[in-house]
Structure 1
Amino acid sequence: MGRYVIRRLIQAIPVLLGATLLIFATVFALPGDPIAALAGEKRQDPTVVSILREQYHLNDPLLVQYGYYIAGVFRGNLGRTYANVEVSEIIAAKFQVTINLALTALVLEALIGVGLGLWAALRRGRAVDSMILASTLLLVSVPTLVTGFVLQLLLGVQLRRWTGVTIFPIAGVSDGWVSYIVPGFVLAGTSIAYLTRLTRTSLVENLRADYVRTAVAKGMPRRRVIGRHALRNALIPLITFLGADLGTLMGGAVITESIFNIPGIGQELFRSVHERQQPVVVGIITILVLVYILANLVVDLLYAVLDPRIRYE
């Protein structure tokens, strides 16, 4: 197991290099001068501009700039903004909010998606099954922007008008973990639909397997057959989906954080792109790539727990 983990971490290095180089080249290929953007419409001192461009290596070729950046990353330094602020400090102030939102979305996705998928699989061909499939199709079809504003209207305006109290906050994070429930559901909406369908399909296939028919023929209780055997084998593709989705949820939080006024890295990413703060953009993407790599490593290790036939040599 230890060798496998070390080998996977070594294999992650080229992934990190390739992803960061791609986003680095994309961000720094954007038109315009980021140093000129610092002064807005004011005229800048040419000497100051020259010093700043030399300080941030903007006169060097792209690969040289990337070399300076990636060398700093391996030393734990994500660089500085053009306003001379540590990028790591900016990310540290915003990261906890976004990880809270992403984890809330992941928990809601797992509970609702697996629960509805299990219910649909056990009632396949019936009205409940058709209703769940139709609901997931509707959830996929409606854009996140629409879902967010509709829930804000229903839970923030109409429900408060009917009950006189606010049950679910719809803006900011001042109310603690309760503040993340509604935006977490909005963020995970599409994933819930996909996970529900994936759970239903995977469980139905396992319920038709020979080992399930053998267990039933031996007189094993239905609840144990489903929970101990069929569901456990059906969890492998679900764990794969959830692990990969953590990075997707964090990266896709830009719209959700904007709708619900959540001060996370998604909102910071949008602002940094608008203000042409390339070091912040590349730093945030680097952190997201690392989260994605670690999440997939954890998923791979969970395979051996779910399926004893899987061994890591």
Structure 2
Amino acid sequence: MGRYVIRRLLQAIPVLLGATFLIFAVVFALPGDPIGALAGDKRMDPAFAAVLREQYHLNDPLLLQYWHYISGVFQGDFGTTFSKVPVSELMAGKFQVTINLALTALVLEAVIGIGLGLWAALRQGKATDTAILAVTLLLISVPVLVTGFVLQLLLGVQLKKSTGIDFFPVAGAFDGWRSYLLPGFVLAGVSIAYLTRLTRTSLVETLRADYIRTAIAKGMPRRRVIGRHALRNALIPLITYLGADLGALMGGAIITETIFNLNGIGQQLYQSVYLREQPVVVGIVTILVLVYIVANLIVDLLYAVLDPRIRYE
């Protein structure tokens, strides 16, 4: 197991280098002058602009600029913005907001998605199954922007008017974990729909397996057959989906953070791309790539827990 973990971590290095270089090259190719953008509508003194370009290696070729950046990353230095703010300091508070949002969305996705999928699979072909499939299709079809504003109106505004209880804050992160419930559901809405359908399909196929029929024929309680045998084997593709989706939730939080006024890395990423701040953009991407790598490693290790036949030598 230890060798497998070390091997996977070593394999992650070229993935990290490739992803960060690709993003770095894209930002490098964007039109516009990042130094000139610091002055806004005014014209920056040419001598001062030249000093800044030299300081941030903007006159160097792409590969040399990337080398300066990545060598600093491996030393724990993500660089500084063009306004002299350390990138790590800039990302610290905003990363916490986004990780809270993504983890809330992941928990809601797992609980609701697997729960609805299990319910639909056990009632295959009945009205409940049909209704769940219809609701998931609706979630997939409606854009996140529409879902966010509709839930803000219904649960954040109308519910507060009718009950007097502000249980679902509609903006900001000032009410602890409650601030992330509504945006977390909006962010995870499409993933909940896909996970529900995946759970239903996986469990239905598992329930048709010969060993499940044999266990039922021997008189084993149906609840035990489903919980101990069928669901455990059906969880393997679900864990794979959840592990890959964590990074997608963090990277796709831009619209949700904007709707609910959450100051996370999604909004920061948009602003940094607009201003061509390479260290910030590549720093955020580096963190997201690391999240992907760690999540996939944890998923691979969970395979051996769910299925003892899987061994890592």
Shorter-chain TM-score range? over 0.9
Unmatched 5+ residue regions in structure 1?
none
Partner of 2:7: 7
**Alignment-mate amino acid for residue 109 of structure 1:** E
**Partner Cα distance (1:21, 1:153) in 2:** 42
Q: Is residue 2:231 matched to residue 1:201?
A: no
Partner of 2:140: 140
Q: Please state how far the C-alpha of 1:42 moved relative to its aligned partner.
A: 1.5
Partner of 2:58: 58
Q: How does 1:83-122 map to 2 (within 5 A)?
A: 83-122=83-122
Q: Tell me the alpha carbon deviations over residues 117-147 of structure 1, each in whole angstroms, 9 at most, x when there is no partner.
A: 0000000000000000010000000000000
Q: Please state how far the C-alpha of 1:170 moved relative to its aligned partner.
A: 1.1
**Partner Cα distance (2:115, 2:188) in 1:** 15
Partner of 2:79: 79
SS at 1:64's partner residue? helix
Q: Please state how far the C-alpha of 1:278 moved relative to its aligned partner.
A: 2.3
Q: How does 1:170-249 map to 2 (within 5 A)?
A: 170-249=170-249
Q: Please state how far the C-alpha of 1:196 moved relative to its aligned partner.
A: 0.1
**Partner Cα distance (1:109, 1:232) in 2:** 18
**Partner Cα distance (2:93, 2:109) in 1:** 26
Q: Please state how far the C-alpha of 1:274 moved relative to its aligned partner.
A: 2.6
Count of matched residue pairs: 313
**Partner Cα distance (1:266, 1:43) in 2:** 30
**Alignment-mate amino acid for residue 186 of structure 1:** V
**Partner Cα distance (2:91, 2:115) in 1:** 35
Query: Sequence identity, in percent?
Result: 79
**Partner Cα distance (1:98, 1:288) in 2:** 11
**Partner Cα distance (1:210, 1:282) in 2:** 50
Unmatched 5+ residue regions in structure 2?
none
**Partner Cα distance (1:175, 1:93) in 2:** 16
CA RMSD of aligned residues (A): 0.8
**Partner Cα distance (1:4, 1:188) in 2:** 32
TM-score normalised by the chain length of structure 2:
0.99
Runs of 4+ in 1 over 3 A off after TM superposition: none
**Alignment-mate amino acid for residue 183 of structure 2:** P
Q: How does 1:145-184 map to 2 (within 5 A)?
A: 145-184=145-184
**Partner Cα distance (2:162, 2:41) in 1:** 50
Q: Please state how far the C-alpha of 1:277 moved relative to its aligned partner.
A: 2.0
Q: Please state how far the C-alpha of 1:46 moved relative to its aligned partner.
A: 1.6
Q: Is residue 2:268 matched to residue 1:268?
A: yes
**Partner Cα distance (1:121, 1:32) in 2:** 54
SS at 1:177's partner residue? helix
Which piece of structure 1 moves more, 172-181 or 160-169? 160-169
Q: Please state how far the C-alpha of 1:41 moved relative to its aligned partner.
A: 1.9
Which piece of structure 1 moves more, 266-275 or 295-304? 266-275
TM-score normalised by the chain length of structure 1:
0.99
**Partner Cα distance (1:43, 1:110) in 2:** 52
Q: Is residue 2:291 matched to residue 1:301?
A: no
**Partner Cα distance (1:273, 1:259) in 2:** 19
